[in-house]
């Protein structure tokens, strides 16, 4: 993969002076793989395909929801960019309408996005091989959504360690920009969108992610997904606030060990 | 009893949005800080990824089975039916995310439209 990329770029010879000797390298060597702008651009292009449009659809639905709650358009855009996780954003609007205490509102909208903790844990180590990538790790997790997380994880085998951050940065720029614009558009269109369209836009997000995850090639992840789908709803009935973290730990552990058990049996 | 100041509706929604954002960023920041100590090739790393996947599946299933807000106004059978159609297309098209998503959403849109028009 790396080799194929190099053919796209015009071959350049570079002189390196090290240890008092001059060496000439060609772009087939890892340090000369395409520039950060090139991988940034690839991130932009990949995100502008299906993922970006899914963000547009779901954030349009969110904008319409904010409008129906009589909040301002600024709130819609701010919530999208800074909370940047739809379940928490939706919980924010709905608990506001319920008139709950501020503490409950913050707790629920934050817990609805607790997935960002395990997601950061599995995203950040990927940037360790790059100086710039590592320096800006708190920015990368700020820009992280399910889309950008999956987008990078899928692409990791095709990227060098140094290319990861620029690809991810490009990918996230499109997703965040599209999300911000779409929530404003959704807010403006709220009164003109027919009800079936609004409700379908709200459903689109979970449906899309169900298939994004179902497409995983890892057996451990697939087993964790099945366990999570089965345990999620009953746990919600037991404890609405804490169901997600509990479900994640139970289902994740079940998937992880079931996969190892199957491996051992096959061996 | 709680004082009036504690009711979220007495606060500015914009201020609350920033507070909710800070409360959400906490998870990202904690993860980023701890991640410095995790080896991407370790079992622990794999287990954490599994937890993330389990959490997503639980969240999606919860939204479909027990939705809050706008989705509450749709019938459970419509939501489940849309997912089933999506998964059938997903496996028929050899895991095409695009085809699956649009057939599920299309089926749901159609059936909600028919219900809104009084056909169903």
- Residue-wise pLDDT for B57-97, tens only, equals 998 999 899 887 778 889 999 999 999 999 999 999 999 98
Same-domain pairing of B120 and B82: yes
- d(C-alpha A135, C-alpha B63), whole Å: 36
B84 touches chain A (CB under 8 A): no
Local confidence band at A4 (pLDDT 50, 70, 90 cut-offs): very low
Rounded to an integer, the average pLDDT of A217-223 is 91
**Nearest by CB to A215, which of B49, B55, B97?**
B97
Torsion sign across C-alpha atoms A44, A45, A51, A57? positive
Same-domain pairing of B79 and B105: yes
pLDDT at position A2, please?
A: 37
Contacting residues of B for A73, CB less than 8 Å apart = none
pLDDT digits (tens, 9 = 90+) for A230-257: 999 999 999 877 888 899 999 999 999 9
Which letter does DSSP use for residue A266 in this model? Answer: H
Token pair, residue A174, equals 């499109």
Domain that holds residue B112: 74-120
Q: What is the CB neighbour count within 10 angstroms for residue A241?
A: 12
Our count of domains for chain B comes to 3
Average pLDDT value over all residues in chain A: 85
pLDDT digits (tens, 9 = 90+) for A120-168: 998 999 998 899 999 999 999 999 998 999 999 989 889 999 999 999 9
Q: Let me know: does B47 contact A256? Beta carbons within 8 Å.
A: yes
pLDDT at position A21, please?
A: 55
B28 touches chain A (CB under 8 A): yes
pLDDT at position A18, please?
A: 47
Same-domain pairing of B63 and B80: no
pLDDT at position A8, please?
A: 39
Phi/psi class of residue B95: alpha, beta or left (left: φ > 0; alpha: ψ in -120 to 50)? left
A20 contacts: CB under 8 Å, gap ≥ 6: none
pLDDT at position A5, please?
A: 37
Give B63→chain A minimum CA distance, Å.
7
Phi/psi class of residue A61: alpha, beta or left (left: φ > 0; alpha: ψ in -120 to 50)? alpha
Going by C-alpha positions, the residue among A176, A131, A115 that lies closest to residue A123 is A115
B86 touches chain A (CB under 8 A): yes
Same-domain pairing of B96 and B60: no
Token pair, residue B29, equals 């920041």
Per-residue pLDDT at A11 exceeds 80: no
Same-domain pairing of B17 and B46: no
Local confidence band at A31 (pLDDT 50, 70, 90 cut-offs): low
Q: Angle at which helices A195-214 and B97-116 pack, to 10 degrees?
A: 150
Local confidence band at A27 (pLDDT 50, 70, 90 cut-offs): very low
Rounded to an integer, the average pLDDT of B13-40 is 92
This prediction has a pTM of 0.78
Which one of A46, A121, A149, A221 would you mutate to disrupt binding with B, by most B Cβ within 10 Å of its Cβ? A121
Tell me what ipTM this predicted complex has: 0.84
Same-domain pairing of B118 and B83: yes
**Nearest by CB to A106, which of B19, B57, B82?**
B19
pLDDT at position A245, please?
A: 86
Which letter does DSSP use for residue B12 in this model? Answer: -
How far from the centroid of its chain's Cα atoms is residue A166's Cα?
15
Q: Which residues pair with A32 in a beta bridge?
A: none
Record: contact A203-B108, CB cut-off 8 A = yes
Same-domain pairing of B57 and B97: no
pLDDT digits (tens, 9 = 90+) for A179-188: 999 999 999 9
Record: contact A114-B55, CB cut-off 8 A = yes
Record: contact A121-B58, CB cut-off 8 A = no
């Amino acid at each position: 993969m790396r080799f194929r990329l190099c053919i796209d770029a015009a071959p350049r010879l570079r002189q390196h002076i090290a240890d008092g000797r001059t060496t000439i390298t060609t772009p087939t060597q890892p340090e000369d793989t395409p520039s950060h702008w090139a991988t940034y651009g690839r991130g932009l292009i990949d995100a502008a395909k299906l993922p970006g449009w899914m963000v547009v659809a779901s954030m349009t639905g969110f904008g319409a929801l904010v409008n129906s709650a009589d909040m301002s358009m600024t709130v819609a855009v701010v919530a999208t960019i800074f909370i940047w996780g739809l379940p928490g954003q939706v919980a924010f609007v709905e608990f506001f309408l319920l008139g709950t205490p501020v503490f409950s509102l913050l707790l629920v909208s934050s817990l609805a996005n607790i997935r960002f903790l395990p997601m950061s844990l599995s995203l950040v180590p990927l940037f360790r091989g790059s100086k710039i990538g590592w320096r800006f790790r708190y920015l990368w997790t700020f820009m992280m959504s399910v889309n950008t997380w999956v987008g990078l994880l899928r692409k990791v085998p095709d990227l060098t360690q140094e290319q990861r951050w620029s690809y991810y940065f490009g990918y996230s720029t499109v997703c965040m920009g599209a999300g911000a614009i779409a929530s404003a558009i959704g807010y403006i269109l709220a009164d003109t969108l027919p009800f079936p369209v609004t409700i379908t836009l709200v459903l689109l997000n979970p449906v899309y992610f169900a298939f994004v995850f179902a497409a995983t090639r890892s057996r451990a992840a697939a087993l964790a997904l099945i366990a999570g789908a089965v345990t999620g709803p009953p746990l919600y009935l037991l404890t609405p606030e804490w169901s997600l973290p509990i479900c994640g730990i139970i289902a994740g552990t079940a998937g992880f060990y079931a996969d190892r058990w199957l491996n051992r049996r096959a061996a | 009893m709680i004082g009036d100041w504690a009711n979220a509706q007495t606060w500015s929604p914009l201020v609350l949005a920033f507070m909710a954002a800070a409360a959400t960023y906490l998870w990202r920041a904690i993860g980023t800080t701890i991640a410095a100590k995790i080896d991407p090739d370790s079992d622990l790393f794999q287990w954490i990824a599994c937890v993330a996947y389990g959490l997503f599946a639980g969240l999606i299933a919860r939204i479909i089975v027990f939705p809050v807000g706008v989705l509450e106004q749709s019938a459970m059978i419509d939501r489940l039916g849309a997912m089933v159609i999506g998964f059938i297309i997903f496996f028929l098209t050899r895991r095409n995310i695009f085809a699956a998503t649009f057939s599920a959403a299309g089926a749901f849109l159609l059936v909600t439209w028919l219900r809104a028009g009084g056909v169903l």
